[in-house]
Structure 1
Amino acid sequence: MIDRRGFGKALGMGAGAAAVSLTGLPGGQTAYAAGSASATPAVHTAFPRLKQIRAGLLDVGYAELGPARGPAVICLHGWPYDIHSYVDVAPLLAEAGYRVIVPYLRGHGTTRFLSERTFRNAQQSVIALDIIALMDALKIEKAVLAGFDWGSRTADIIAALRPERCKALVSVSGYLITNRKANLDPIAPQAEHTWWYQYYFATERGRLAMEKPDLRHDLTRFVWDTVSPTWDFDDATFERTAAAFDNPDYAAIVIHNYRWRLSLADGERRYDGIEERLAARPFIAVPTITLDPERDPFTAPGNGTSYRDRFTGEYEHRTLAGIGHNVPQEAPAAFAQAVIDVDRF
């Protein structure tokens, strides 16, 4: 594996400047300049040939880059995104010597359920169990887990409940493990407005919008535009990801995920024990870097202080100036640098 200085050289070939520490802050916090989104052009548009593997309840589609015997990094996407969020991150990490795995989550891309009879469940615990099953299938005992949105939540859960499988963690937006009871309480009006699509998906109109291709396309594009206000992406970039939404289970998975979070849909009783542990907001003790994108409307105020107490191991917080919600695709160098750095804690 090349060292951090060598990694910095690897970043200088147009993938965007490596994040540079601007100001030391108390409590393990750092302000980072990732460069404006428009100044971080995409270098790659596609992964090499995708792979498939049976893992748990799924036939998982995934991209793999880097040496087969390198230390593993698993990069997890969110909604409404797919593996292309890591299309520039993965080559950077592969060049640094990592074996990089980027899976489609259930209901996305080429990932399929093995049985038509399986309930299309998207509660938080089952997505985490999908990733553990994938690690088992790939014979990966331990990995650095890195994610945003649904991917952050999934990585947080594994880090909290299965720390023996998580070497270190990069989590955008910090601690995202869902407490459904707490989710029943109203929040500030501006924050409620930001979550408009959760409430839309609670209606039959919202479900139909996810099922109808044209409406789904326009809705997800609108989300991209609003949550990444500084990212100057082109139509082709969105369309490459939108193809993953044609998965036959996509609408069912998305609707169940958001309805479950609001206690409007049930999960499966066999996962109740896991969910009870998650509702208690378990601590995360593995080495962690949390990333807050400055221009993401979901970024909580306080520069990470709202979730700092959940992380009890070696820890650093970074704020990415000028970056919106889709951090790995908007600021691939800063994201990859966080993976490299947390692996060396």
Structure 2
Amino acid sequence: MSARHSTTALPRRFSRTLLACTLLPLGLLAANMATAAPLQAQPAATAADEFGPLKHVNAGVLDVAYVEQGPADGPVVILLHGWPYDIHSFEQVAPALAAKGYRVLVPYVRGYGQTRFLSAATPRNAQPSALASDVIAFMDALHVQRAVLAGFDWGARTADIVSALWPERVKALVSVSGYLISSQEAAKAPLPPSAELQWWYQYYFATARGQAGYDKNRHSFAKLIWQTASPKWAFDDATFERSAKALDNPDQVAITVHNYRWRLGLAQGETRYDPLEARLASFPSIGVPTITLEGDANGAPHPPAEAYAQRFTGKYEYRLISGGIGHNLPQEAPQAFTQAVVDADHL
């Protein structure tokens, strides 16, 4: 289907501050160690590049809300955000790539912002293969055959999965924290206590109390994650609240809780994704040209680069971004992230 413009525009200006936090699958860490109303736009506090109006397109089971920048006939880059963030993580990356001639697409993930399920009967499923399938459906709806994929947190995992399962659709990959593919079986392996401590919220979400607590305290919960995942990032309240509004989506709690419960084997996915999950359980290699990034002050769980380098079998580079950069790397170090996208495209 063709894209249609929303009647609601995103904020026209954005601050130059930053964000942070995603989460590596327990299974991969263990393996490495062992071996419905639309939200209203709000004005930004600080001047920056214009981000553009919000568009919508029906794609698969979703009405996907997204930003598009750059020439319509330019090579496509799709930027994927994580939890508990939103598309503003790319507030400076998107216009910088558009200025270089790229057609930049920045979708809200299911359960975020103005993205909505088309049917109330659709399971609020956030297993990894479902999120990756959303990207393929989004590309199909916009008639995009191939794209550079770049993301962090959930977005990096999704980009990794698409690159592994549908390499013919991916021209190049940029992934913060590297290879994030795992499985429910791998996640059964326990970690050392210090590593388990970093996943406290995953266990919290496994309980009814945790689900109710997150629902009641979405914004304060997200701010805590931002602070712990990016301990050296002095983001201001306006920057945080602009992105935190994306968590007011009516499906946010269900999507977040299901994602973490699924990882622990405490929630089932949909049977139609079983073949994809079976392929992911074998930890497939990624052969598309790839650059992986890491911030030198990432407070979220993440493995050392040498633990996953062998997973990338094509042209590959790893870059450590210094300067106190935390988990939300594209917003904290937009120039480095932008350059990685351009360089990956030319590997």
TM (norm. structure 2) is 0.85
CA deviation string 1:194-245 (max 9, x = no partner): 1111011001111002222xx1111111111111011111000000001101
Q: Does 1:108 find its partner at 2:112?
A: yes
Measured in 1, the distance between the counterparts of 2:325 and 2:260 equals 25
User: Residue 193 of structure 1 corresponds to which residue in structure 2?
Assistant: 197
Alignment correspondent of 1:137:
141
CA distance in 2, matches of 1:66, 1:103: 15
Match of 2:282 in 1: 280
Q: Residue 309 in 1 paired to residue 310 in 2? A: yes
Please tell me the root mean square deviation across aligned C-alpha atoms, in Å: 1.7
Q: Deviation of residue 294 (structure 1)?
A: 1.5
Q: Distance in 2 between matches of 1:314 and 1:301?
A: 20
SS for the counterpart of 1:305 is: helix
Superposition deviation, residue 103 in structure 1? 0.2
Q: 1:236 to 1:326 in 2, by over 3 A?
A: same
Moved segments of 4+, more than 6 Å: none
Query: What letter corresponds to residue 224 of structure 1 in structure 2?
Result: W
In 1, the alpha carbon distance for the partners of 2:85 and 2:302 equals 21
Q: Which segments of 5 or more consecutive residues in structure 1 lack a partner in the other structure?
A: 1-13, 17-41
Structure 2 partner of 1:171: 175
By how many angstroms is 1:44 displaced? 2.8
Paired letter, 2:286: I
- In 1: Cα distance, 2:148 partner to 2:184 partner: 27
2:252 pairs with one of 240, 250, 268:
250
Which amino acid in 2 is paired with 1:75?
Answer: L
Aligned with residue 294 of structure 2, among 292, 295, 298: 292
Q: Deviations over 1:61-115 (max 9, x none)?
A: 0000100100000000000000000011001000011000000000000000000
Q: Distance in 1 between matches of 2:295 and 2:301?
A: 7
CA distance in 1, matches of 2:178, 2:244: 26
How far residue 298 of structure 1 moved from its aligned partner, in angstroms, is 3.1
Q: Is the 8 A contact 1:173 1:299 kept in 2?
A: no
- After alignment, is 179-188 or 307-316 more displaced? 179-188
Among candidates 222, 236, 239, match of residue 238 of structure 2: 236
Rounded to whole Å, the distance in 1 between the matches of 2:47 and 2:202 is 33
- Per the alignment, residue 128 of structure 2 pairs with 124
Pair 1:83–1:301, CA change in 2 (3 A) = closer
SS for the counterpart of 1:169 is strand
What amino acid maps onto 1:147 in structure 2?
A: G
* CA shift for structure 1 position 297: 2.4
TM superposition shift of 1:300: 3.7
**Matched AA of 2:209:** R
2:187 alignment counterpart: 183
2:24 corresponds in structure 1 to: none
| Whole-angstrom CA distance in 1 between matches of 2:195 and 2:47 | 34
Answer yes or no: is the 8 Å Cα contact 2:49–2:95 preserved in 1: no
Counterpart check, 1:79 vs 2:80: no
User: In 2, Cα distance between the equivalents of 1:108 and 1:144?
Assistant: 22
Paired position in structure 1 for 2:220: 218
The residue identity in structure 2 corresponding to 1:127 is L
Which amino acid in structure 1 is aligned with residue 277 of structure 2?
A: E
SS in 2 for 1:178: coil
- Note if contact 1:285-1:311 (Cα within 8 Å) is conserved in structure 2: yes
Partner of 1:50: 54
Contact 1:153 1:175 in 2 (8 A): yes
- For residues 331 and 187 of structure 1, the distance between their equivalents in structure 2, rounded to whole angstroms, comes to 30
Look up the equivalent residue of 2:106 and give its one-letter code: V
**Deviation (angstroms), 1:269:** 1.1
| Identity across the alignment (%) | 60
Question: CA-to-partner distance for each residue in 1:263-298, whole Å, 9 max, x for gaps?
Answer: 010001111110000000000000000001111123
Contact between 2:195 and 2:301, CA under 8 Å: does it hold in 1? no
* Residues 43 and 88 in structure 1, CA contact (< 8 A), matched pair in contact too: no
Residues 46/216 of structure 1: CA separation in 2 closer, same or farther (3 Å cut): farther
Q: So what's the TM-score if we normalise by structure 1? A: 0.86
CA distance in 2, matches of 1:191, 1:92: 36
Distance in 1 separating the partners of 2:302 and 2:125:
28
Task: State the 1:311 CA deviation.
Answer: 0.2
